[in-house]
Amino acid sequence: MNTAYEKLQPYLDKAMAVQTALTLFEWDDATLAPKAAGAKTSRVIEILSGEYFQAVTNGEVKQLVKECREEPLTEVQEAVVRELEDQLDQLDCIPQDEYQAFAKLASESVRVWEKAKEENDFQSFAPVLREVVRYQKKFGDYRAKPGQKRYDALLDAYEKGFSMDQLDQFFGRLKEELVPFLRKVTESRVLIRDDFLTGDFSEDRQERLARFIAEYLGFDFRRGVLAVSAHPFTTNLHNQDVRITTHYTDRVDSSLFSVIHEAGHGIYEMGIRDDLTQTMVGQGASMGMHESQSRFFENIIGRSQAFWEPIYGKFQELFPETFTEIGLDQFVRAVNKVHPDLIRTEADELTYSLHVLIRYEIEKMLIEDDLDVDQLPRIWGDKYEEYLGIRPETDSEGVLQDIHWSQGSFGYFPSYALGSAFGAQIYYHMKKEMDFDGLLREGRLDVIREYLRENIHQYGKLKTSRQIIKDVTGEDFNPDYYIRYLKEKYGKLYEITD
Ligand code: ZN
């Protein structure tokens, strides 16, 4: 007699294979596919998506999941069944016609948003965004469990274990501490020169730097590739095939830190255990935990003086015209310069979470408080002025800059800030366990990477982000570390004493 789990296995295999194919199309679309392929490929994607939906939600699967609950399962099987139940919960409570109508609306909405952003025309996007919000509110209501608010239910899809109440506290602390601190930084008399980061840097040299730095961090090119796309991202098929992208501009630090960031995501995926990869629990624990790792590599490691000490000479060799004259100290100060800016993806480390705070406050108003989308440009501008001291002159540089809301991704933004805070808490703990800067100075990235693999990466989705933080650091999530990290680092850089 086969067990229920054994009978479930072929469905899981099919879902995994279809998912892998979909991921490959997504990657191809963003990197190499010819423009003309779009419409025909969409048809293939539509069919495959339907197959995935069927593989996961058919009656037989639902029955087998119930039966699995009655039999003894291994730790991995237990986690797979839990993940499958979660996906069923998310999909099953929504009437199929509404689900499909929303999928259609979302793909339309992205197109309308793209055009509106290009033409700086919020009014043309407002009606479709209003519809998207209406659906998300409904879906939140369908998904909300007893005691949950609708925004809680949406948050669950990205970061389990963090409710709106907890995020209110988290973002409340960031606002209270970082908004006045940023004012001190911008009023500081310390001037940091960074003009030399902009220039005519050849793509060929930038690519050589990108490959060198990714490899130096431990991104394994036998199991990974680097390509070019409009917006840098990471995707993976399994732990033997992890793909990162970058883009080359006239700012040498733009591609450089994108690559360090994406390599951080990639190293996470490469570190997932063999028995988990290609299963439903074979990816990073959560959005926030993923972002904790990419931002850990990008900021905590990549923007530190100790990291650059052994390799700055190599960097100078690649761009001798500009950087022979620029010392290590000056370079590191430049890549840490604080510059309140309108665009989130170009933000420095200190102001980054304030961009996220603004989006959190606004999307909560949309989902919980019935804010009408017509009000968005005004509220957006007011909040930028209040928290960052700047106001966008156009909606393209304001409320239209991110793709997320057009796709219906409400509840996604908070994970960016949470990730930074997870990273800082893990960093303070690691400093107690090892000579962190000493290892960086010796180029021993392997020791740091191995620690992260052993304690975080290998588990995939076996543990929640909250559980990982607790197991690694011995305490529950605590945002104080993040605030302390930012204040220590930027207080020193900008000579702020108090
Ligand atoms: Zn990222």
175 and 105 belong to one structural domain: no
Cβ atoms of 310 and 443 closer than 8 Å:
yes
The pLDDT assigned to 49 comes to 85
Give 58 Cα–ligand 1 centroid separation in angstroms. Answer: 33
For residues 61 and 175, membership in a common domain is answered with no
40 and 186, same structural domain?
Answer: no
Cα of 252 vs centre of ligand 1, distance in Å, is 19
Do the domain assignments include residue 246? no
Assess if residue 151 is contained within a domain.
no
Same domain, 395 and 308: yes
Q: Which of 83, 131, 262, 363 is catalytic?
A: 262
CA of 414 to the centre of ligand 1 (A): 13
Say how many Å lie between the CA of residue 60 and the centre of ligand 1. Answer: 37
Ligand 1 centroid from CA 413, angstroms: 11
Could you tell me if 174 and 313 lie in one domain? yes
Residue 210 located in a structural domain: no
In a domain, 214, yes or no: no
State the CATH number of the domain containing residue 444. 1.10.1370.30
Q: Are residues 181 and 95 part of one domain?
A: no
Identify whether residues 174 and 51 lie together within a single domain.
no
Domains in the chain: how many in total? 2
Q: Ligand 1 centroid to 456 CA: how many Å?
A: 17
Measured in Å, residue 9 CA sits from the centre of ligand 1 at 32
Distance 493 CA to ligand 1 centre (A): 25
Q: Are residues 184 and 37 in the same domain?
A: no
Same domain assignment for residues 179 and 310:
yes
71 included as an active-site residue? no
Question: What is the model's pLDDT at position 26?
Answer: 87
Whether 105 and 169 map to the same domain: the answer is: no
**315 part of a folded domain:** yes
Q: What is the pLDDT of residue 125?
A: 97
CA of 299 to the centre of ligand 1 (A): 12
User: pTM (2 decimals)?
Assistant: 0.95
Which structural domain, as residue segments, surrounds residue 286?
Answer: 164-192+270-493
Are 175 and 311 within one domain?
yes
SS (H, E, C) the chain: CCCHHHHHHHHHHHHHHHHHHHHHHHHHHHHCCCHHHHHHHHHHHHHHHHHHHHHHHCHHHHHHHHHHCCCCCCHHHHHHHHHHHHHHHHHHCCCHHHHHHHHHHHHHHHHHHHHHHHHCCHHHHHHHHHHHHHHHHHHHHHHCCCCCCHHHHHHHCCCCCCCHHHHHHHHHHHHHHHHHHHHHHHHCCCCCCCHHHECCCCHHHHHHHHHHHHHHHCCCCCCEEEEECCCCCEEEEECCEEEEEECCCCEHHHHHHHHHHHHHHHHHHHCCCCCCCCCCCCCCCCHHHHHHHHHHHHHHHCCCHHHHCCCHHHHHHHCHHHHCCCCHHHHHHHCCCCCCCCCHHHCCHHHHHHHHHHHHHHHHHHHHCCCCHHHHHHHHHHHHHHHHCCCCCCCCCCCCCCCHHHHCCCCCCHHHHHHHHHHHHHHHHHHHHCCHHHHHHCCCHHHHHHHHHHHCHHHCCCCCHHHHHHHHHCCCCCCHHHHHHHHHHHHHHCCCCC
Average pLDDT of each block of 10 consecutive residues along the chain (498 residues)? 90 95 90 85 84 89 95 95 91 86 86 94 97 97 94 94 95 97 96 96 97 98 95 95 96 96 98 97 96 98 98 97 97 97 94 97 96 97 97 97 94 96 98 98 98 98 97 97 98 92
292 & 370 share domain: yes
CA of 417 to the centre of ligand 1 (A): 11
Model pLDDT, residue 1: 60
Answer yes or no: is 398 within a domain: yes
Instruction: Answer yes or no: is 442 within a domain.
Output: yes
Residue 488, in any domain of the structure: yes
Q: How many other C-beta atoms lie within 10 A of the C-beta of residue 129? A: 23
